[in-house]
């Protein structure tokens, strides 16, 4: 991966973006794509990057990856300054206790820790149960509610205090790959399309959407705004190459073996075939899964926007989803970009995606 792209990925992951509080990450995305795409932001906070194509009667193609991540929100502070919180998105309460966190408010970043009763003081039966989120609390090192209120306030978002780290080879770990990996791929596709010697035969709209984790909201409104003929959602999916994940649930998916192309009711068959044929022609490794239901991604709402959209999914294999230590392979990100750019160059006519 080129140095500038890796730096962009680092900055995107470092920026806090729990659902409803995405703008720090969206500013990173917008700043990166502005030199090579016409940018705009809507009232929801979705960021659009547009590149006009050549020729007449061009199809409108929308790429989308959501920028929001899971996190927490302050709900209450007690008299001793301990802070109680609720989950933004699907947070696993098994994982939150003992974690360092950052509270993001008007005073900047306030560090804290999620504490719990020491195991030595717990009853034996309590050691085997999960502490519910509403019984967990953040300690920021103050001694009173007044001190806490001078630094943070109810409604402030909270993220795990984790950023990008290299593992072995090209494998990396961070919070927020779900789905800043998607926003990253969208931005890189826009960059590479802008560098092509000839214009695409489509008008391309790359979207970094918001509030996916709380109901596919930004994907809904941005699809309505763009009104695409063709849409590709870039998401993450469960890798099954770890010891405790059953391949019967999600198929055989390995990190580092290429992006995933799902099939199912949410996927336009002709667009799936085009992606798969392009991967074969360009020697891009891909993996295949079946999703016999709504996918629970922005592709789901994109498909049924207005009169309907020919929709596909390109997914990045990910271990430990919705934890502070998500793991993926940088090569899968790069191959997703290569696949989408090569596919876009092959799209000439929206009619081929209408079932016969």
Q: Annotated active-site positions, please?
A: 212
Q: Which residues pair with 86 in a beta bridge?
A: 73
Distance CA 155, CA 142 (A): 19
Distance CA 188, CA 196 (A): 13
b/e sequence 202-233, b meaning 16+ C-beta within 10 Å: bbbbbbbbbbbbbebbbbbbbbebbebbbbbb
- Long-range contact pairs involving 115-120 (C-beta distance under 8 Å, separation at least 24): 115/82, 115/139
Distance CA 148, CA 168 (A): 40
C-alpha dihedral (337, 9, 138, 318), degrees to nearest 10: 30
Return the SS3 of 129. Answer: coil
The sign one gets for the Cα dihedral 311, 217, 260, 334 is positive
Helix axis angle, 3-14 to 177-194, nearest 10°: 140
| C-beta atoms surrounding 34 within 10 Å | 12
């Amino acid at each position: 991966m080129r140095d500038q792209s890796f730096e962009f990925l680092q900055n995107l992951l470092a920026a806090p973006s729990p659902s409803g509080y995405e703008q720090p990450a969206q500013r990173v995305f917008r700043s990166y794509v502005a030199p090579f795409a016409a940018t705009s932001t809507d009232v929801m906070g979705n960021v659009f990057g547009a590149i006009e194509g050549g020729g007449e009667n061009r199809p409108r193609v929308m790429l989308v990856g959501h920028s929001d991540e899971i996190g927490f929100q302050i709900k209450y502070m007690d008299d001793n300054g301990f802070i109680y919180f609720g989950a933004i998105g699907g947070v696993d309460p098994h994982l939150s206790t003992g974690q360092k966190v950052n509270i993001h408010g008007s005073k900047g970043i306030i560090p804290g820790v999620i504490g719990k009763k020491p195991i030595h003081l717990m009853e034996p039966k309590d050691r085997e149960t999960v502490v519910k989120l509403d019984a967990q609390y953040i300690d920021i090192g103050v001694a009173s509610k007044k001190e806490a209120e001078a630094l943070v306030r109810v409604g402030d978002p909270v993220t795990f205090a984790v950023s990008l780290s290299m593992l072995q080879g090209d494998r990396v770990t961070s919070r927020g790959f779900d789905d800043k990996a998607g926003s990253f791929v969208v931005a890189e596709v826009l960059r590479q399309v802008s560098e092509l010697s000839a214009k695409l035969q489509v008008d391309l709209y790359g979207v970094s959407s918001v509030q996916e984790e709380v109901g596919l909201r930004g994907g809904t409104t941005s699809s309505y705004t763009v009104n695409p003929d063709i849409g590709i959602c870039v998401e993450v999916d469960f890798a099954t190459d770890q010891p405790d994940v059953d391949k019967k649930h999600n198929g055989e998916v390995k990190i580092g073996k290429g992006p995933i192309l799902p099939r199912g009711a949410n996927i336009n068959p002709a667009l799936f075939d085009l992606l798969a044929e392009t991967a074969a022609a360009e020697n891009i490794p891909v993996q295949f899964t079946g999703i016999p239901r709504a996918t629970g991604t922005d592709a789901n709402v994109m498909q049924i926007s207005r009169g309907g959209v020919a929709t596909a999914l390109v997914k990045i294999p990910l271990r430990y989803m919705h934890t502070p230590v998500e793991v993926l392979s940088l090569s899968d990100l790069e191959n997703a970009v290569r696949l989408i750019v090569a596919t876009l160059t092959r799209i000439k006519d929206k009619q081929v995606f209408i079932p016969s």
